[in-house]
Chains A and B, each alone.
Chain A
Amino acid sequence: MSDSHPPSKTAKIIVGSLIVACIVVFLLDFLFLSENFDKHAVFEWENWPGFYGIYSFVTFALLVFASKFILRPLVKRKEEHYD
């Protein structure tokens, strides 16, 4: 699936909706800068707006790249390897 097909119309709609949803929730996170809302955060960085989103995005990308470029070359074998 990594072949770069031109994205279909459905894919464009899904990604567009995702981007909108991400922006909306990211903006909602700014609510907690107000004194009326409390995150009950234990760690300082939890109070940074969008922390969970950015952490998730970055680690997700790192996970995929590490699996693809480090783990796969090390462990990939033919399906008949154990036969």
Chain B
Amino acid sequence: MILPPQFIFLIGALFIPLFKGWLRTAYMLFLPVFAFFNYLKLEEGIYWTYSILNFDLTLVRADPTSLIFLNIFIIATFIAVIYNSHVKGTMEQFSGFLYAGSGVGVVLAGDLITFFIFWELLTVGAAFLLLVRRTSKSVGAAMRYLLVHIIGGLILFAGIVLHITQTGSANIAFDAIGLNSTASYLIFLGFGVNCGWPIIHAWITDTYPESTVGGIVFMATFTTKAAVYALMRGFSGEEALIWIGAAMATFPIFYAVIENDLRRVLAYSMINQVGFMVVGIGIGTHLAMNGSAAHVYADILFKGLLFMSVGAVLYRTGKSKCTELGGLFKSMPFTAVCCIIGAASISAVPLFSGFATKSMIMAEAASNHYVWVWLILLFASAGVVEHAGIKIPFFAFFSHDSGIKVEEAPINMRIAMGLSAVGCLAIGIFPNQTLYTLLPFEAPTYEVFTLAHIIGQCLLLLFACLAFALLMLGGFYPAEMRAINIDSDWFYRKAGKWVYQICDRSLNSLNTAADKLLLRGLVNSVCRFATEGPARIFIFLLTPYWSIKGNNAEQQEALKNTVRLNIEKGALPIGITACLSVFVLALLFFF
């Protein structure tokens, strides 16, 4: 019996607290191994369908597109579990599996409703991964993460509801949607939030670096890649994606040059790499889509490797900023080598994984005559060499000696990094025997190791390295600074605070004024009039009568007190009441 792999993770996560020590590690490793076994047994088709409220929902749709994502998601979970196995608390492990299970659920969902449920669970899992760090910064980041993703989720939900309303309740299968209605635009935007499109990208660079050392390895794998899957499934061939992707590939590299926190540099790098994938989806040819899928696969391994190596440095030194690091190669040689392999892979050095994947997208941009997009992607490739290829390993392990002497990374981290490094090399050296066999779309054979391609790429890489070296020696490279760089999250972190303060001051002032004038002023006057008014009227009317009658001031004061007392107690003599009634009637009669 094949089990839905997402439930292996989600249900399996519930039992993690029951185990302790090595038994817990063994159990957590068993889960992805068991899921992978199920993946291997999973043949293409639709499984685990069920019906709720007349909707036919599908938990597992196994086809080449979902299977390649499933494959790498399970492998990434396995590696992340090894990397994280030193963590004692169960909450982080549970959150990791909740998150991974949700990611798997997203790529296997056969309909929009199931898809949406797992999509939202992804957000919950990621927020937990941020919360488990238990620092004020990580809690704040978790809240902002939730804020952005709940808004994105609502937009997506509105789109799905509209889509179902417009197309009929029977048509909820998650297939090609296309940009042709309000509903489709809302769904498109909902996917875009998780994908990290420009302007709505800042949740990535704001929150990921606040995660735990191991949590970020999970986070780098699922949310954005699940969004890439969603775009691939729903909006392949949409030209808008080409330009969105080109923008994503370009703008983060400027930020990455001046960013001080290496984990934040990698977060910008992540947007840059997802940009390449989005361009491939936008081009929409089978080869371009294969390029995007292949790049997702390779990116999860090499970006994971880079996050793990910087995480190992953070774990050992407690630091992740360029200004505080440097010269760690001697202390952490294995981590440094792994980091260099990750850097070479992301830079698309021949025989490393990125070379076999990114070039497919570039080639398709060229052959479909997207001249500007091709030039932009080539520029972005040089930018990748700068921030991920050189900056990360250089500032962490070489550069100036920070004087920090630490132990090499723990054995579990070294195993996890080693596995990822082997994956990067295997894909880079044997793409035809490894990754290319998993590609989802029928496309002409892509020859990656041509002399022209190798020489062209070597030219690009070597001249970029030369530019870096000359700029450094000439003193033109931006100095590392203990500073942050504001991004579009400034609008809800700082400007939002100002809006709050303006609202606080204006609306609360209005509230205070209203309280003073109405509640304390007007209502008090009405109350006073209701309690004291009749007595004063009586006294006003009776004073001339008492004066004529010859009562002196003392007697008049005594009479006034009697009237006040009688009115307070409601004990007016009938005669006076009758007189007053006559008086009022007379007034009414004459006027």
Contacts and interface: CB of A to CB of B under 8 A. Distances in A.
Nearest to A42: B366
B338 interface: no
Contacts of A56: 378, 381-382, 385, 459-461, 463-464, 467
B544 interface: no
Interface size bucket, A side? Answer: 35 or more
Contacts of B378: 52, 55-56, 59
Contact of B258 (A1, A7, A61, A71): A71
Interface string B459-484: 11111111111111111111111111
B452 to A, nearest CB: 4
Given A60-B467, A66-B254, A53 B462 contact: yes
B466 to A, nearest CB: 5
B379 to A, nearest CB: 5
Contacts of B412: none
Interface string B542-574: 000000000000000000000000000000000
A15 B470 contact: yes
Contacts of B510: none
Nearest to A3: B475
Interface stretch (B8-16, B438-446, B486-494): B486-494
A10 to B, nearest CB: 10
A78 B486 CA distance: 10
A57 B473 contact: no
A60 B385 CA distance: 9
A69 B378 CA distance: 22
B546 to A, nearest CB: 74
B485 A22 contact: no
Interface string A20-63: 01100110110110000111111100100011111111011101
A54 B475 contact: no
Contacts of B451: 31, 37
B458 interface: yes
B455 A18 contact: no
A3 to B, nearest CB: 6
A60 B463 contact: yes
Contact of A1 (B366, B371, B463, B472): B472
Given A60-B463, A60-B467, A61-B471, A77 B483 contact: yes
Contacts of B369: 42
Nearest to A47: B452
A9 interface: no
Q: Among B457, B472, B487, which residue has the most Cβ atoms of chain A within 10 A?
A: B472
B400 interface: yes
Contact of A72 (B258, B366, B494): B258
B285 interface: no
Nearest to B458: A25
B450 interface: yes
Interface in B355-383: 366-367, 369, 371, 374, 378-379, 381-383
Given A38-B452, A43-B374, A79-B482, A71 B459 contact: no
Interface of B: 253-255, 257-258, 366-367, 369, 371, 374, 378-379, 381-383, 385-386, 399-400, 450-452, 455-487, 493-494
Given A1-B479, A31-B455, A76-B483, 16 more contacts: A2-B476, A3-B475, A15-B466, A21-B462, A41-B452, A42-B366, A59-B379, A60-B382, A60-B468, A63-B257, A64-B477, A72-B258, A72-B478, A77-B485, A81-B484, A82-B493
